[in-house]
Amino acid sequence: MSSPTDRGGLRVVSSKRRIALSAEMFRPQERQAGLFDDEAAWTIVFVSVPDLPEGVFGDIIRYAEPSFVFDLRLAPRFDMGSLNRERAFELFDRVRATYVDTTTPLMAGVKREEVIEMLVRRLPDAGLAARRPVVFLLGRSESSLATPPEILSILGRSSHRLEIINVPQEI
């Protein structure tokens, strides 16, 4: 039996390094407020949950302190390392984040397009009231209600500037 480093074996090597999370990465780049509050950018955080290293989910929520967490995963689960559903919801409560399971209507027979339309109606209200980041939890593309480009298309209909953060980030 050969090891992955033997000449006959294959070894996957990534040239990308993950960027360490910090609270500063979730703060708006512009420190000065504009003349009008509506000029403030919305910080949108796309979290690819299957790609997160263990223990990072809690850091994301603590550092970002989101106003809303929209879970777009078709099978929302929080059993990651020492995290479980109860601890995840305690974390959301601690940072005053509203968790929205966008797939619940699917279970009631509502079509995907209708659920996305409900999300479209909710997002501007969430963003305007927020003044804090809005987090979207994603699974793989085939196991999410919508993809980042679809969400950005929805958000692009507003006149607000968007600051996009993808987690995990790689360089």
Q: What is the pLDDT along the chain (171 residues), one digit of tens a residue?
A: 444 444 444 444 444 445 567 677 776 655 445 555 555 677 889 999 998 887 889 999 999 999 889 999 999 999 888 889 999 999 999 999 999 898 888 888 999 888 888 877 777 665 555 678 889 999 988 889 888 998 888 777 666 678 889 988 654
Instruction: Write the secondary structure of 3-54 as one string of H (helix), E (strand) and C (coil).
Output: CCCCCCCCCCCCCCCECCCCHHHHCCCCCCCCCCHHHCCEEEEEEEHHHCCC
Q: What is the pTM of this model?
A: 0.77
d(CA 44, CA 60): 12
What contacts 151, CB < 8 A, 6 or more positions away?
Answer: 44, 46, 72, 136
Q: What per-residue confidence (pLDDT) applies to 3?
A: 45
| Residue 130 near residue 28, CB atoms below 8 Å | no
Tokens read off for 55: 């223990």
